[in-house]
Structures are given as structure tokens and as C-alpha cells.
Amino acid sequence: MTGTIVNRDVWLKERMALLRREKAVTRELDLLALERQKHPWVSIKKTYELELPEGKVTLEELFGSNHQLIIYHFMYGPQWKSPCDGCSAWAEAFNGTLGQLERHDAALVAVSRAPIDMINEVKKSRAWTFPWASSYNSAFNSDFHMSVPPDCESVMVGDEIIAYDRGESGGINVFVKTDDGICHTYSAHNRGIQQMNGTYGYIDLLPYGGN
């Protein structure tokens, strides 16, 4: 595929027209971010226990000293021989960047249903430093629609169809810790998590896109 070749004046005119549309989208995204901040919360009454290399931890302990927590649901099931390639690309994108989140009073932790020994082996082989917890003996993944029986391919949650690969789905859930406990504030599935991987922003700038 070859783009239309024009002179610089025509190119600049077309670029300015596109820029006006880009700015309109940016302003709309700013408004959406404000709407997310106003989104209602759900109180979490259940005590979830997960596992880090150091041992078992509660959901509250994953916050560390922060008041906000982002969980990246990394697709890696107990019977899988290797983790999801797509989730691995996301992990490469956020590995080593978590200090920026902590400056905004937030922690990011990956969670998978694979046992902690499997997770530790992958982390070591890929030199990843981000916290990655196992929910192998917890209902955490299933309660938040991230894991289902292996023969289930999709589930309807509200108006959204969540797709699964061998019982696992990738996604993001956000929590906040207050004096009254922990609340679930936001969730994203399917292409809703795409903007969290900066690589896709660069790909969208290419003349051939993601092809």
C-alpha cells in the first residue's frame, strides 16, 4: 500500500485538518478521565489471600503504603506451559516504570492463577522486577470475571462480552483503600486496556498501522 504523494503545502493543510480532529479526541479523553474519577465505588467485603515470593498476602497488603491499586490480570493459567504473549508485551511495557505510579499514590501488581513457583520462574528468566502475585488458591480472578472453567470461551458481563483463552482473560481492575476499607472503582477488558500499553500509541502513528 502506498500513500498519496502531495506537495508540502497540501500536506500541511491536511495535517492541520487531522490535528483539529486529534485535539477534539484529546479533549474528549480528558472528559472521560474526569468521568472515571466520578465513577461510583463498590465496597469489597471479602478477604482475598494471594501469594508473592515472600509469602501469602491479602489484597490490602498489595497496596503497600499507597491508597490506590491497579491489578493487571496477566493471562497465565495453572496448566499453561508459558504465559500469554500479549500479556508479556504489556509486562515489558510497564516493567521498570512503576515508580511513576507510586509518585501518584498508586501501586501496580500483576496477578495470575498460575502457582507462584511458575510465576517466579518466568520473572527470573525475563528479568522482570514488577510485583506478580498468584491467585491460585483464591477466588479473586473468578469473582472479577478474569477466570472461568477452561471450556468457557466467553461471558457476558453487563453489555460487554469478555473473551477467554483456556479459562483466562486479560484485563485491569482498580481499587482504592480508605479508612472504611477497600473499594473496587474501575475495570477494563478487551480493547479497553489497549491504551495502557504505550507501544500501541506508536503503532497508531504508522502509515501501515498494525498490519
Count of domains for the chain: 2
Helix, strand, or coil (residue 210) = coil
Q: How far apart are CA 171 and CA 134, in angstroms?
A: 15
d(CA 66, CA 171): 21
Looking up residue 108, the CATH number of its domain turns out to be 3.40.30.10
What does each of the 211 residues of the chain score in pLDDT, given as a tens digit? 678 999 999 999 999 999 999 999 999 999 999 999 999 999 999 999 999 999 999 999 999 999 999 999 999 999 999 999 999 988 998 898 889 899 999 999 999 999 999 999 999 999 999 999 999 999 999 999 999 999 999 999 999 999 999 999 999 999 999 999 999 999 999 887 877 777 777 777 788 776 6
Cα(170)–Cα(187) distance, rounded to whole angstroms? 11
Task: Give yes or no: residues 91 and 194 share one domain.
Answer: yes
Does 33 lie in the same domain as 73?
Answer: no
Q: What is the pTM of this model?
A: 0.90
Alpha helices in 85-146 (DSSP H): 85-94, 98-102, 116-126, 140-143
Domain region containing 27: 8-38
Q: Do residues 135 and 149 both lie within one domain?
A: yes
Structural domain includes residue 3: no
Q: Do 19 and 75 belong to one domain?
A: no
The total number of residues shown for the chain amounts to: 211
Is 211 within a domain? no
The Cα–Cα gap between 35 and 186 comes to: 11
Same-domain pairing of 32 and 120: no
Residues 31 and 128 in one domain: no
Considering the domain architecture, whether residues 88 and 139 belong to the same structural domain is answered as yes
